[in-house]
Structure 1
Amino acid sequence: MTVSASADGMWSIGELAEQAGVTVKTVRFYSDRGLLPEAIRSAGGHRRYGPEALDRLRLIRSLRTLDLPLPQVDRVLAQEDAPGATDALEDAVAGQLRELGTQLSSLRWREAALQLLRDCTPGERAERLRLIGAVSIPPNTDALVRFWRHVFPARLPARLLSTLLEAAVPQLPADPTPSQVLAFVRLHAVATDTRVRDIDIRRLASRPPDGTCRPAVLYEGLVEACALASADVRAQRPPHAGEALDCFVTAHAALHDTRDTPAFRRQLSAQLARIAHPLIDRYWQLAGELPSASSQPTIGAMDDWLRAALDAEVSRMSESGVCAGHDPGEGRPLARA
């Protein structure tokens, strides 16, 4: 039923409420918050509203239906009164979509975690509950970033460190499977393991003859070597000699200001076989189970491929009678401590 305005073109609070299909209490609430100002007050002090109040009240109800908080509603209404202002409604909608995306991601992670617990054996349940309880839902990768900030050498250039962190920290799926939830919570456990303090990749085991230490030289070269090996690793081609391996060896040689020779390769292969840490190995295994690894191999997978290519070439050199020479000194690989 439509309520006509009175002779002066104004509505009482009750008439406006009836016209909009809300309660008088709702109209009074928005009026008291300053969102719905009355046009005038009657001689008896009663609120009177003009026809434009109905449109404003309907807009308020629409915005509140979208769960916009009152401060954002206020900003949108302020823009209605100042058309040249920033698009407050667009900003509010974008903010709500981001918040809703977070909520949906949280629900999907929670669902997958519950399925993981439902489908495991009673003997597995206690450990999985402990792992799940150690992460936030939805999770973030802050612990993984802290892990690698400890592992990577100090004083790397900011650009290089950013490149390394981007490659080392996997992206998390918005809609994970139970197995991906399990991989991530285990990965988080690795990143927060107290044994991370034992990983000493910061200090190279042997310094160059001049006493300096230039880890950035090594890491710049290893990033390039991994990029060159990426296509072969993704295609699951057997490790082989070529540009990627040459770049890998050159990076280690450059660290100690020496040359890439058959003797250097032979001894580098032996040294890299002795450099390992179970947390690093476990990290790359679990990172490879997350979806971001399907489009780009992990650093660990590329490092393993390059090492295997070096080992295979050294074996061929040994079979052909190429002898080892001087000790090149120890260089640390990108994915091992």
Structure 2
Amino acid sequence: MVAEALWSIGELAERAGATVKTVRYYSDRGLLPEAGRSSGGHRRYGPEALDRLRLIRSLRVLDLPVPDVERVLERDEALEEVVAGQLRELGSQLAALRWREASLRLLQDCTGEERAARLRLIGAVSVPPDTAALARFWRRILPVRLPGRVVSMVLDAVVPELPEEPSPAQVLAFARLHALVSDPRLDRPGSRPAPPLPDGEYRLAVLYEGLAEAYTLASAELRDGRDLRDGGALHCFVAAYADARGTADSPAFRRGLLPLLARSDGPVITRYWKLATGLFAPGEPVLGALHHHLSVALHVQVEAQAG
């Protein structure tokens, strides 16, 4: 390349529409290739440096940090990794902004007496929030001998995925739910919700897998407007308990099952489902509601047979 085709740092900055300070910064970091030096030892740049500077500025316009820009310049395939990482980070930032907006609207649309209480609830939740406290709550309740794969299955069903664009009502419901499961009084003797099953009487994996099938059937039957007393969901529901207990389904077994089901619907669990229901996606089956519907259907059926 002839000397006339080389540019000083100021000329390169002018051609790129950048400041000399910016060009010097990238040059000092080794991101702009030098084509040579002047007789006085000053840097000289050619078209390759101009192309590189334009690429850097394009990446920086997308708010990519300089270290990520360096990774992209070192190897082309890094761009896909960097873009994916930035999209994940941006998604988290957008979720936080949406949650903040809904939280502010919640505070805006309430009376002065409500505002202080709501502010305390909201302040106890991170932004964007996570559901770790909800998962810990259920892990404390579930039987300790439950296999890990079944625990994961249960947690997927009982812990809602938080909405990407929450309404003020959903923000309030989650804040109240978070306060419920984080209440230190739950750790006191007699305050924690009772385990749903007597210890050692049921084969746990058999029960929970059978219940999952029953809930799926119940969801379909309710969606079709059918009475749960007349469908296969209730039979599957009772069979899950009978199979796990190693006994046969019978009228006597069904009568004996009612106190056990009532035990699983204590005040804390009932409030959990009342608050959590609105956080599940529209049309998504809510396990707590399905369990309640099946329990009621069994109770009505047993009472009818007894009468």
State TM-score, norm by structure 1. 0.84
- Mapped to 2, the partners of 1:19 and 1:71 lie a distance apart of 25
1:199 aligns with one of 190, 193, 201: 193
Instruction: Write the mapping of 1:25-174 to structure 2, written as runs, cut at 5 A.
Output: 25-79=21-75, 87-174=77-164
Q: Which piece of structure 1 moves more, 246-255 or 111-120?
A: 246-255
Matched, 1:223 2:212: yes
Letter in 2 for 1:231: A
Unaligned runs of 5+ in 2: none
Contact preservation (8 Å) 2:228, 2:234: no
SS at structure 1 position matched to 2:273:
helix
Contact preservation (8 Å) 1:40, 1:47: yes
Unaligned runs of 5+ in 1: 81-86, 320-337
- Mapped to 2, the partners of 1:195 and 1:257 lie a distance apart of 36
- Mapped to 2, the partners of 1:274 and 1:103 lie a distance apart of 42
- Mapped to 2, the partners of 1:154 and 1:144 lie a distance apart of 17
Shift of 1:275: 4.4
Letter in 2 for 1:276: D
Contact preservation (8 Å) 2:103, 2:171: yes
Shift of 1:237: 4.0
Instruction: Write the mapping of 1:272-291 to structure 2, written as runs, cut at 5 A.
Output: 272-291=261-280
Letter in 1 for 2:215: C
- Mapped to 2, the partners of 1:195 and 1:253 lie a distance apart of 34
Shift of 1:215: 2.0
Instruction: Write the mapping of 1:169-180 to structure 2, written as runs, cut at 5 A.
Output: 169-180=159-170
1:309 aligns with one of 297, 301, 306: 297
Counterpart for residue 335 of structure 1: none
Shift of 1:274: 4.6
1:111-139 Cα offsets, whole Å, 9 max, x none, are 11000001111111111111101111111
Shift of 1:29: 0.4
- Mapped to 2, the partners of 1:221 and 1:272 lie a distance apart of 15
- Mapped to 1, the partners of 2:262 and 2:232 lie a distance apart of 22
Q: Which piece of structure 1 moves more, 233-242 or 304-313?
A: 233-242
Shift of 1:64: 0.7
**Amino-acid identity (%):** 60
Letter in 2 for 1:281: T
Counterpart for residue 234 of structure 2: 245
State TM-score, norm by structure 2. 0.92
Shift of 1:242: 2.9
- Mapped to 1, the partners of 2:280 and 2:240 lie a distance apart of 30
SS at structure 2 position matched to 1:289:
helix
SS at structure 2 position matched to 1:103:
helix
Q: Rate the CA distance shift 1:128–1:252 in 2: closer, same or farther, 3 A.
A: same
Q: Rate the CA distance shift 1:274–1:147 in 2: closer, same or farther, 3 A.
A: closer
Letter in 2 for 1:250: A
More helix by share: 2
- Mapped to 2, the partners of 1:122 and 1:238 lie a distance apart of 45
1:292-312 Cα offsets, whole Å, 9 max, x none, are 2x2222111010111111111
1:72-91 Cα offsets, whole Å, 9 max, x none, are 111111125xxxxxx22222
Counterpart for residue 247 of structure 2: 258
SS at structure 1 position matched to 2:44:
strand
**Cα RMSD between the aligned structures?**
1.9
